[in-house]
Structure 1
Amino acid sequence: MTLLQRKRLLIKASPWILLVTLALLWELVCFAFSVPTYLFPAPTDIWASWLEYQGPIMKHATHTLFTTVAGFAIAVIFGVILGVLVGSSPLIYKAVYPLMVGFNSIPKVAFVPVLVVWFGIGTVPAILTAFLISFFPVVVNMATGLATMEPELQDVLRSLGASRLDILRKVALPRSMPYFFASLKVAITLAFVGSVISETVASNVGIGYLMISASSTMDMGLVFAGLVVIAIMGVVMYEMFAFVERRMTGWATRGSDPAF
């Protein structure tokens, strides 16, 4: 095995090496200082809670995944549409962008009571909270990708007879794909935050509800098991979009070698 191959293998294995190291260190600290399980459970306690409650955990996790993906999908649709409008028009950019920044500055948990009044307790507030919290990154990245297109390139394309729609469809949108996929990877993790926040406040199902119920009985092993499940789902969704990104926008990183 060459030096380059060993470097690449080490890079691929590094997340697992770090994860195992942290888990062992976590277990050692809990054991050495006799930390009570109801305060800070060790990884073995979390694993035991998973084995005991894996049925309910999977049921609640499935619901959380559904609400997250639903809210995220709505955010992507509206985010792309608004991002294209904002990025392709200086007038719309100047008019809309300050409003979006102000809206994004409002803590989304403040919307949950309003959504409960409008739609009741349950799935709809969780979906809408996931949408509200993941909408902004998609808009900003799409608008940035379109707005940062070089003026010189646009002048050349116009001189060749390309219309504004041709430039947008054939050059600007493909060029903004790295920005778009970057926004997806950020937005999906935020969507999980939104759905779990809503579930902790206004739901009787989902990982957020499960964690609140478990914390009320001081079952911290189950609470941390819920946190781990959310983290795993977030990583899986993130890696899915990263895989699609590498397939569709490999041209943006051509010639780069992560081993160096």
Structure 2
Amino acid sequence: MTAAAKRQILSATCIAGFFVLWEVICLAFNVSDLVLPRPSQVLVTLWTQFPAIWPHTIQTVYTTLLGLGLGIILGLALGMLIGSSRLAYDVAYPLLVGFSSIPKVAIVPILVLWFGSGTVPAVLTAMVMCVFPIVVNVAAGLASTEPELQDVMRTLKATKLEILWNIGLPRTMPYFFASLKVAATLAFVGTVISETVASNRGIGNVMMIASSSFDVPLVFAGLFILAALGVALYVIFSVIEARVTGWARRGDNFSAGG
């Protein structure tokens, strides 16, 4: 058995052990469902209410992917601009840092005021949540490009756009995919924040209604769904990253003794 397979088995065992321990503690201490439902109760809720939850899940996935896609486009554009221009860095970077410091839940009412309640504020909130890490990582990747490579391209009479396309962007890919895996989880956070405030559809809306009626197992069912969707998107990006940036990986081990 390979080291990678052993790590995967150990990881799966630890995750399963976490949920078993959760179940045992709730049973041993007779924890109320209103405080902390058992994983088995959450799974039963998911099974029995799946037909009602499914349309909301589709809505959340659609909103999140749309917001993430817009965030990737905007983040790439801003990151390339900031990473390739000192003036743009000095002007735009402080504004981005200041904007990212604003709690996003405070932005949702403004978006509702502008666009009304529904899908649009949720899409824009997801986009806003995931733009900053993409911009920072893309700009950092461009800034880390070796000057020697750029000098070689200049001696070959390459334009600035050709240098960016042939050297800057490939060097940025590891940074870009690292930011994508963070942005994917943040996009779900943005969607759910907006759905709990200004939407009548989506997992966030389901969780809000369930909490108001003290249906805690349904609230945790929503959390389970969001966690599963986040992990699935993370894995997809990881697979794409391994194919696109395989050249940047030094090996499978985390350390020399791994």
Q: TM-score range by the shorter chain?
A: over 0.9
Give the structure-2-normalised TM-score: 0.96
Asked whether the 8 Å contact 2:108–2:121 carries over to 1, the reply is yes
Q: Is 1:34 the equivalent of 2:30? A: yes
Give the structure-1-normalised TM-score: 0.95
The residue type paired with residue 175 of structure 2 is Y
State the aligned residue count.
256
The residue type paired with residue 150 of structure 2 is Q
The percent of aligned pairs where both chains have the same amino acid is 51
CA distance in 2, matches of 1:164, 1:256: 35
> Aligned ranges for residues 16-27 of structure 1 at < 5 Å?
16-27=12-23
The residue type paired with residue 92 of structure 2 is V
Asked whether the 8 Å contact 2:145–2:167 carries over to 1, the reply is no
Q: Is 1:62 the equivalent of 2:58? A: yes
Kindly state the Cα deviation for residue 231 of structure 1 after the two structures are TM-superposed. Answer: 0.3
CA distance in 1, matches of 2:14, 2:204: 27
| Aligned-pair Cα RMSD in Å | 1.3
Who is 2:155 aligned against? Answer: 159
Q: Is 1:97 the equivalent of 2:90? A: no
Structure 1 residues not aligned, in runs of 5+: none
What is the DSSP-based 3-state SS (H/G/I as helix, E as strand, rest coil) of the residue aligned with 1:78? helix
Q: Is 1:193 the equivalent of 2:189? A: yes
Kindly state the Cα deviation for residue 38 of structure 1 after the two structures are TM-superposed. Answer: 1.3
Who is 1:177 aligned against? Answer: 173
Who is 1:117 aligned against? Answer: 113
Kindly state the Cα deviation for residue 117 of structure 1 after the two structures are TM-superposed. Answer: 1.1
Kindly state the Cα deviation for residue 56 of structure 1 after the two structures are TM-superposed. Answer: 1.4
CA distance in 1, matches of 2:233, 2:251: 27
Asked whether the 8 Å contact 2:150–2:167 carries over to 1, the reply is no
> Aligned ranges for residues 172-251 of structure 1 at < 5 Å?
172-251=168-247
Kindly state the Cα deviation for residue 72 of structure 1 after the two structures are TM-superposed. Answer: 0.4
Asked whether the 8 Å contact 2:149–2:167 carries over to 1, the reply is no
Label 1:218 to 1:255 Cα distance change in 2 as closer, same or farther (>3 A). closer
Give deviations 1:56-113, integer Å, cap 9, x for gaps. 1111111001100000000001111111111111111111101100010001110111
